[in-house]
Amino acid sequence: MSTLDKQTPQQTSGKEKKVFIKTFGCQMNVYDSERMSDALAKDGYSETTNVDDADLVLLNTCHIREKAAEKVYSDLGRINKTKEKRLAAGGKDMKVAVAGCVAQAEGKEILRRSPVVDLVIGPQTYHQLPNALERVHQGKRVVETEFTEDDKFEHLPKAEKKQIRSRGVTAFLTVQEGCDKFCTFCVVPYTRGSEVSRPANQLISEAESLVAAGVREITLLGQNVNAWHGEGGDGREWGLGELLHELAKIEGLDRLRYTTSHPRDMDQSLINAHRDIEKLMPYLHLPVQSGSDKILKSMNRRHTRDEYIKLMKRIRDVRPDLALSGDFIVGFPGETEEDFEDTLDLIRQVEYAQAYSFKYSPRPGTPGADFDNHVPEDIKADRLKRLQTLLAEQQLAFSQQCVGKDIDLLLEKKGKREGQLIGRSPWLQSVIVDAKESQIGDIIKVRITRAAPNSLEADII
Ligand code: SAH
Ligand code: SF4
Ligand code: F3S
Is it the case that residue 8 has pLDDT exceeding 60? Answer: no
Q: Whose CA is nearest to atom 8 of ligand 1?
A: 287
For residue 124, being part of any structural domain is answered with yes
Mention every residue, 6+ apart, whose C-beta is less than 8 A from residue 173: 31, 203, 206, 207, 210, 218, 219, 220, 221
Is it the case that residue 240 has pLDDT exceeding 80? Answer: yes
Out of 59, 63, 124, 260, give the residue to mutate to test ligand 3, the one with the largest number of ligand atoms within 8 Å of its CB. Answer: 63
Ligand 1 atom, smallest distance to 223 CA: 1
In contact, 224 and 265? CB cutoff 8 Å = yes
| Shared domain check, 410 and 393 | no
In contact, 342 and 297? CB cutoff 8 Å = no
| Shared domain check, 29 and 112 | yes
Is it the case that residue 40 has pLDDT exceeding 60? Answer: yes
| Shared domain check, 250 and 391 | yes
For residue 153, being part of any structural domain is answered with no
In contact, 177 and 188? CB cutoff 8 Å = no
| Shared domain check, 365 and 330 | yes
| Shared domain check, 294 and 224 | yes
Which of 356, 376, 397 is the endpoint of a domain? 397
| Shared domain check, 252 and 205 | yes
For residue 249, being part of any structural domain is answered with yes
- Whether the predicted model's global pTM rises above the 0.85 cut: yes
pLDDT value, residue 11: 40
Helix intervals (H) in 13-160: 27-41, 66-88, 100-106, 109-113, 129-137, 152-155
| Shared domain check, 49 and 74 | yes
- Tell me the CATH number at 49: 3.40.50.12160
pLDDT tens for 437-447 read 999 999 999 99
Which of 80, 113, 144 is the endpoint of a domain? 144
Out of 225, 262, 296, 303, give the residue to mutate to test ligand 2, the one with the largest number of ligand atoms within 8 Å of its CB. Answer: 262
H or E element that contains 218: strand 217-221
356 within ligand 2 shell (Cβ under 6 A): no
pLDDT tens for 308-361 read 999 999 999 999 999 999 999 999 999 999 999 999 999 999 999 999 999 999
Better pLDDT: 450 or 235: 450
For residue 149, being part of any structural domain is answered with no
| Shared domain check, 104 and 184 | no
Average pLDDT, rounded, for the chain: 94
pLDDT tens for 167-187 read 999 999 999 999 999 999 999
Residues with CB under 6 A from ligand 1: 64-65, 185-186, 188, 223-224, 260, 262, 287, 289, 327, 329, 358, 360-361, 363
Q: Distance between CA atoms of 226 and 320, rounded to whole angstroms?
A: 20
Mention every residue, 6+ apart, whose C-beta is less than 8 A from residue 7: 91, 92
Is it the case that residue 4 has pLDDT exceeding 90? Answer: no
| Shared domain check, 421 and 308 | no
Tell how strand 217-221 and strand 170-174 pair up: parallel
pLDDT value, residue 15: 67
Is it the case that residue 1 has pLDDT exceeding 60? Answer: no
Is it the case that residue 3 has pLDDT exceeding 70? Answer: no
| Shared domain check, 351 and 227 | yes
Query: 257 C-alpha to center of ligand 3: Å?
Result: 19
Packing angle between helix 337-350 and helix 305-318, nearest 10 degrees? 10
191 within ligand 3 shell (Cβ under 6 A): yes
For residue 43, being part of any structural domain is answered with yes
Q: Whose CA is nearest to atom 11 of ligand 1?
A: 64
| Shared domain check, 255 and 370 | yes
| Shared domain check, 298 and 230 | yes
Average pLDDT score over residue span 252-274? 97
Question: How many CB atoms are located within 10 Å of the residue 389 CB?
Answer: 11
Ligand 2 atom, smallest distance to 289 CA: 7
- Tell me the CATH number at 449: 2.40.50.140
For residue 150, being part of any structural domain is answered with no
Out of 220, 358, 383, 384, give the residue to mutate to test ligand 1, the one with the largest number of ligand atoms within 8 Å of its CB. Answer: 358
Q: Distance between CA atoms of 292 and 338, rounded to whole angstroms?
A: 8
Out of 35, 179, 191, give the residue to mutate to test ligand 3, the one with the largest number of ligand atoms within 8 Å of its CB. Answer: 191
Better pLDDT: 12 or 274: 274
345 vs 50, 293, 340, CA distance in Å? 47, 12, 9
Number of structural domains (the chain) is 3
Q: pLDDT band at residue 103, thresholds of 50, 70 and 90?
A: very high
Average pLDDT score over residue span 353-378? 97
Ligand 1 atom, smallest distance to 366 CA: 22
- Tell me the CATH number at 282: 3.80.30.20
pLDDT value, residue 147: 87
Query: 235 C-alpha to center of ligand 3: Å?
Result: 33
pLDDT value, residue 153: 87
Domain that holds residue 221: 158-397
pLDDT value, residue 9: 38
223 within ligand 2 shell (Cβ under 6 A): yes
Query: 182 C-alpha to center of ligand 2: Å?
Result: 6
In contact, 436 and 460? CB cutoff 8 Å = no
178 within ligand 3 shell (Cβ under 6 A): no
Is it the case that residue 109 has pLDDT exceeding 60? Answer: yes
Query: 108 C-alpha to center of ligand 3: Å?
Result: 19
For residue 192, being part of any structural domain is answered with yes
Ligand 1 atom, smallest distance to 26 CA: 9
Q: Closest ligand to 369 CA?
A: 1
